[in-house]
Each structure stands twice: as C-alpha cells, then as structure tokens.
Amino acid sequence: MAPQDSVVSGSVSRTLGREAQRNNILAARVVADILKTTLGPKGMDKMLVDSAGTMTITNDGATILEEMQFDHPAAKLIVDIAKTQEREVGDGTTSVALLAGVLLEHAEKLLDRRIHPTAIIKGYRTAALHAQKILEDIAFSARTPEALRTIAMTAMTGKGAEGNRAHFADLIVQAVTQVAEGTTFDMNAIKIVKTRGERVEQSQLIQGMVLEKEIAHADMPRSIRDARVALVDVALEMRSPETETSISISSPEQLRGFLDSEERYLKEMTEQLISTGARVLFCQKGIDDVVQYYLAQAGIMAFRRVPRSDMERLAKATGGKIVSTIHELRADYLGYAGEVSEIVKGDDSLVYVQQCKNPKAVTLLVYGTSDHFLDEIERAVRDGLGVVASAIRSGKAVSGGGAVEIEVARRLRGIARTLTGREQLAMEEFASVLETIPATLAENAGLDPIEVVAELRRRHEAGNMHEGLNLLKDSIENCYDAGIVEPLQVKQQAISAATEVATMILRIDDVLISSDKPSDAVPKEDILD
C-alpha cells in the first residue's frame, strides 16, 4: 500500500491520476453512446422498462436520461448538464450529452500525447468563447410567427408528432404568443391535457383551461355561459378546532341547536358566495355536502380539490383572483369565461373553461389512440414549446441540419491557425468535435458520415454557410431555404454546457468513493446501475 493510501479509510475506494481520468472519460462516453443513435429525425428509439414493468418507447434524450439510473459520478455529471439544457432551453439534451462525451474522447487523445489537462482546458474554453461569438455573427432574426412555426416543426421532426407537425406547430405558436409577455414566457402557463378516442389531427388549443374534474353535486348545471368564476383556496367546511375540545350535550334540544348552528354557518358562507354573482366555483380544498346542496339550489357549478397549479392557471386564464377566505371574495375578484362545461366521455370527465378574454394561460388538448402514443406526442409538443420559447427570448435562430456546426468548426480552424502551442491543438480538436453532430445525423440516416462531412466542408469553404443535411430528402441543401432552423439559444447553451462539464471532468485526477463496507476497488465497468 502506498504511504498516501494508508491514511485513507478502508471503506473508501480511491482511483487517481491517469486511471481516474480514463474512468471518468469512459463513463461520459457511455452516456454519449447511449444517446448517439437517437439524434436527428431518423434517430432510433429506446425501449425503457422500469422495475415495475412500465414500458417507455422514445428517442427523446431528456426522457431517456430521466428514466435511466447511472452509478458512475462522471456519468451523473453528464446527466445533470443534460437536464439543465432541457430546463433552460427546452431542447438539445442529446446534442449536449454527445458533445460532452466526444470532447472528452478527443481530450483523451491529447492526454495520450502527454499534453497537460490544463492546456486542454484552456484551449477548449477559448474555443467555446470564439464559438459563441461566431454563432452570434451567423444568426438571423426569428421573431415572426412563420419563423417560430418553422422552428417548432424542426424540433418535432422525427418524433411522435411528426405526421401532424404542421398542425401542432400552429397550435404551439398560437399558445406561446398568447401567454408570452414581451420576451418573457412561463412554460407552466400552457397546460397539456391528453385524452384518448379522437384522431390526433383533432387536437386543439383551448383559450382557457381544461381540467380533469367533475362537478361536486349531481344537481348542479352541466354548462354555464357568460360565467363569473370564483377561485377559493379555503375549505368550505366546518373548521376543525386547533386545540382538542369537547362538547357536553345532555338533551336532544341541545344536539338540534348544535346542528342548526353548524348549518347556519355553512348557509351564511354559501350566501356570501352567491351574493358576489359567481356562477362557477373552483375550490382548492373540500366543499361540505350542505354547501354543495345550497350551491346546487342556486344553480352554481362547483368543483373541489382543484390542484394549486390549476388554480393559478385558472387565475391567469379568467383574470380572477384567488382568495383565502370566503369573506374576502368580492364581485371584482371574479374571473370570466364565455363558457364553462363538463363533458363526460366514458369514464373520463373533463371541465372546459373556455372563451376567456385575453387569457394568460391556455390548454393544448391532445388526442390520440393509445397512452404510449399520447406520451410520445406530449414529449414532442413540449420540445416544440421549449424551442419556440427560446426563440422568443433571444429573437434569433441558426440553420439546422448540422450547417451551423460545420460553419463554426470551419471558422474555429481559421482562428486556431493564428495560435501557437498546445492551445492550438485543443481548439482544432474542439472544431472536429462539432462536426460530430452532422456526422451522427448522417450515420443515423444510413448515409456515409465521412462523405457527408467532406462535402459539407467543401460547400462551406465556398461560402455557403447555410448548407446542411435535409434528412427528409437525404440530401445536402440550403437549410435556411428548406425551413430547417433552430433557436440560437439552444446551440449556445449546448456548446457552453458541454464545454463546462468536459473541462470539469478533465480537472479531476483523484476519485474517492465512500461505501458502507470496506472495498478494495470499484469496478470500472460499473457505470450503469
């Protein structure tokens, strides 16, 4: 045992130096290899089966990483950075994991040439900074509805909604532009509701909310037009005392008086609600049976146990205000909906709160034939929403199909030639890594990646910076003209995140893993749990 190891507990396994770097790089490459075949419109699907036997079939990188359990700490870093990509810009998780893995693979070649990790890190970071500037330089404006629609269609190509991507792109753009305020956009303001039975092309945008609820009382109306909507987050029930109490009742008259007092309290509460002019009530908590009866007698629709997230969306959609006590409720706190109706289909009950005036929360109602199909459509729609939101925030886009990566790589090589020393080598490797994206797109489509990359390089050297892969035709063409465009923010975030995690892993030269039981070593193969 080495002297430095003698001070380390026997329950701590230690890997250091070049071996630690190799293990970490291997783990990152495993994650990248898992996702590699899913990239692009002709990427393959993965079948994920959990311990309960639940099956998921998808090529969505975020979903794959979410469902898989990785054991190696370096692999977990790649997963974390991919999840950040999904959270920040809504797409590009596969790209960021792939770029990070290949950056580390190329770094390993430089390490084998005895180039110090610090020099590689410096070169990578310099290359990433130049790449960001190049992206800004070649980006073009994308604020028009048509541009946003094109971006949404590109994001959904190759996913479950591809057959109806034009229809969903229209719905997505309408939804985002409806709830966006300037360049700010809250993803939670758009609710996706999946329902079986109708054709997928019948999916629609509801100017308001759709809730999976049913009316509280059978005698309540099933539909109300020009509805004034009350939003209450307090239970319309007798309140339980905060401290333990006891009531002594010695006669039937006392019991009757006690019950009458309860009913008077509930009736007063109901009358207060009715006096505001409300025709529809959404309550976050419970509603007593007595209150339900009085509300039904007054012709008021009521819904109980509405989730907080839906209450907040209802407030944005109807323009109402959520109150915490029934006595706070006033007429000017009520929201408005052109129609509130309950529709029952089989065992499912949906409440439509629609025809709202300038709603700041809307619902995408997605139809499909099976749960697996609906789940895949939902993932595709969420990707579309994410990229459109990113485009609205930055207002810029770049050509897709690998065109932007080839162009950035070409310009980086030009900058690398002006440098000297080992930093130059790192920047050249960084440029080669970017070309992995078009190469993988070609490979997943059954094309020769070497020939494709060589042809793209030739065309870009000739000044055609929008030339990329149109895999719907299996050809190289102007992706800008073909409508294959992606938000600038997605590409910037992917390069930045991949560089960050790759340089972080390269700086690690010692891995110490604590365990409950003493262990001599942790197998290098234990990347997946």
Ranges of residues in the chain with a pLDDT under 70 are 1-12, 14, 16, 160-161, 238-261, 346, 515-529
Alpha-carbon span 472 to 196, nearest angstrom: 29
For the domain covering 209-241+251-358, report its CATH number: 3.50.7.10
Q: How many CA atoms lie within 13 A of 513 on its CB side?
A: 18
Asked whether 426 and 122 are in contact (CB, 8 A), the reply is yes
Tell me the DSSP string of 121-186: HHHHHHHHHHHHHHHHHH-EE--SHHHHHHHHHHHHTTSTTGGGHHHHHHHHHHHHHHH-BTTB--
Q: Which of 94, 157, 318, 503 is catalytic?
A: 94
Annotation marks residue 418 as catalytic: no
Query: What's the pLDDT at 521?
Result: 44
CB atoms within 10 A of CB 278: 26
Annotation marks residue 144 as catalytic: no
Q: What is the 3-state secondary structure (H, E, C) of 289-312?
A: HHHHHHHHHCCCEEECCCCHHHHH
Q: What is the 3-state secondary structure (H, E, C) of 324-393?
A: CCHHHCCHHHCEEEEEEEEEEECCEEEEEEECCCCCCCEEEEEEECCHHHHHHHHHHHHHHHHHHHHHHH
Query: Left if phi > 0, otherwise alpha if psi is -120 to 50, otherwise beta: which for 247?
Result: beta
pLDDT tens-place string over residues 306-358: 999 999 999 999 999 999 988 889 999 999 999 999 998 767 889 999 999 99
Q: Where are the domains of the chain?
A: 8-141+398-514, 209-241+251-358
Q: Which of 38, 58, 93, 150 is catalytic?
A: 93
CA angle, 202 then 391 then 479, to 5°: 85
Q: Count H helices, E strands: the chain?
A: 17, 19
Query: What's the pLDDT at 34?
Result: 92
User: Radius of gyration over alpha carbons of the chain, in Å?
Assistant: 29
Burial 420-433 (b: 16+ CB within 10 A, else e): eebbbbbbbbbbbb
Annotation marks residue 118 as catalytic: no
Q: Which of 270, 383, 436, 503 is catalytic?
A: 383
Q: Which of 56, 60, 63, 363 is catalytic?
A: 60
CATH class of 8-141+398-514: mainly alpha
- Report the amino acid identity of residue 138: I
Asked whether 524 and 26 are in contact (CB, 8 A), the reply is yes
Annotation marks residue 37 as catalytic: no
